[in-house]
Amino acid sequence: MKGLKSKGLTALAATFAVSALLAGCGSNNDNSGGSADSGGTNAAASNDSAATNAANGGGTNTAANDGGGSDAAKLEPYTIKWFVPGAASQKDQALVNEEVSKYLKDKINASFDLEVIDWGSWDDKMNLKFASSEPFDLLYTAAWNGFSTKISQGNIIDLTDLIDKDAPDAKAVIEPALLEGSKVNGKNYGMPTNKEMATQWGVMLRKDLVDKYNIDITTIKKLEDLEPYFDIIKKSEPGVTPFYLNKDISLLNVWNSNNFDHFEGGAGTLPLGQTDFKLINGLETPEAKAGYDLIHSWYQKGYVNKDAATLQDLSGGLKAGKAFSYPEQLKPGKDAEVSTATGVQWVQVELTQPIIGTGDTQGAMTSISRTSKDPDRAMMFLNLLYTDKYLVNLIAFGIEGKHYKKVGDNTIDFADGVTAQTSGYNLNQAWLFGNQFNDYLWANEDPQKWQKFMDFNKAAKNDALLGFVFDPTNVKTEAAAISNVGKEFNSGLQSGTLDPNVYLPKYIDKLKAAGIEKVIAEEQKQLDAWRAAKGQ
């Protein structure tokens, strides 16, 4: 599930891998690196049309369009290969791929091969695929996950003309602000998932323990308010970790969102309330130090799992009941999604205001690899994915009767005899696939979920750097060095394992030696030019 990987990142996380481990993301999400100014400024308002259609049962089954008007009989057979990150142990993946292949044959004469790579090895495995020029068609991309790096390295292709040629139906249903805001230098390199458009951070709490100890979640307004409940869990629930973390997610995701207008660990930060748009090294601020001090104190008190700095994936621990709480990127109904995925009931507590940033338009995209043998066919498939309700639900939820059953016109539950733990296909990552407004809702989800997505977007504020994208070309050597420094310090500091009094100064010194001041100066230059072009 998305929130189990650090994905709610701020605006330059696409450029610097170090930021992905420090920033309060997302979606995630993602207040990061996108492009055209119009892509975010009116995002909340402009989302209404697409979301209204969805809330009214919208979404068309346009399978007859056959990928932008293609005649399947005239097309050569082709296999569409797609890589996405997630819980890789989907034992029925081959069965689902076979069903999708049957469906696609008459549409675009294609077979289908979706492969899920676990989050912990996603980056390394995808880098190896590009390095070896392995042929494949589609991959998940996001601002926080090196999107701009993939563009600069030429590993993903420009989709702008392909969208117009092969996916006119998809273009018609994708929220315009998403398509526009996800552009880089005026070009689309990814097809954004049609979904919510804001980032909010908070915590998930296990519902059975909330009920058992009569915890009033409405009294939890800030991170420190959790400490009395952590004490109760630590004393009374052996084997349950009060605050469960992995190496990529931390309370800093919440902390930085509440203490900075815009935070980057590997580039420029905007202090809270700052009006002159002068970027600084946020790690040198008292506010950043206080965040590291807080998580270190929690680690010392035994609130945090001892393996947090090395743990790759939270999902196993959550399913096994090892966690009382963990930080999560939130949206309406996120607790129901996580409950379905883990088989454990959760409640969510929002601790930051929703924010719409450029990276929110780049929080979940599908791109076409430079190694694709038939980019046109890949785009024809995407056209179907965004418009064909049967197809998107088959990929998102599996086979009806085997993995899920219909309990209403648009509502599903696990098939008889199947649970979250035993299902052979339980990705719980519908946000990866096409038009989420065409998705079925689980029985435990709010029937008004899509309307609440609209309200959520309307309640969001704009990120201070909404619409700005940093081009790292002139400082790519420094950016790479900064990323390597981040790998040395991030997990230990953000999990609380390392003492910030000792290691934060060392981290800052190494970032300076790697060239962070040069990077911030280049970013400032580009930001000033961007603001001048806007007349600010």
314-341 in b/e form (b: 16+ CB < 10 A) is: bbebbbebebbbbbbbbbbbbbbbbbbb
Calpha distance 193→364 (Å, rounded): 6
Sign of the dihedral defined by the CA atoms of residues 135, 137, 140, 141, in that order: positive
pLDDT of residue 63: 37
Question: Residue 271's beta-bridge partner residues?
Answer: 260
Distances (CA, A) of 497 to 22, 56, 303, 522: 15, 48, 12, 33
pLDDT of residue 265: 84
Q: Which residues of the chain have pLDDT under 70?
A: 1-70
The answer to pTM > 0.75 is: no
pLDDT digits (tens, 9 = 90+) for 182-234: 888 889 999 999 887 788 999 999 999 999 999 999 999 999 999 999 999 99
Tell me the Ramachandran region of residue 57: left when phi exceeds 0, alpha when psi lies from -120 to 50, beta otherwise: left
Calpha distance 247→479 (Å, rounded): 21
pLDDT of residue 70: 54
pLDDT of residue 20: 30
pLDDT of residue 69: 46
Domain boundary assignment for the chain: 33-197+360-461
Calpha distance 314→248 (Å, rounded): 10
Calpha distance 209→232 (Å, rounded): 10
Calpha distance 96→424 (Å, rounded): 10
Architecture of domain 33-197+360-461: 3-Layer(aba) Sandwich (3.40)
pLDDT digits (tens, 9 = 90+) for 119-167: 889 999 999 999 999 999 999 999 888 898 899 899 999 999 999 999 9
144 close to 22: Cβ distance less than 8 angstroms? no
Side-chain half-sphere exposure of 276, counting CA atoms within 13 A: 3
pLDDT of residue 85: 94
Q: Which residues contact 212 (CB under 8 A, 6 or more apart)?
A: none
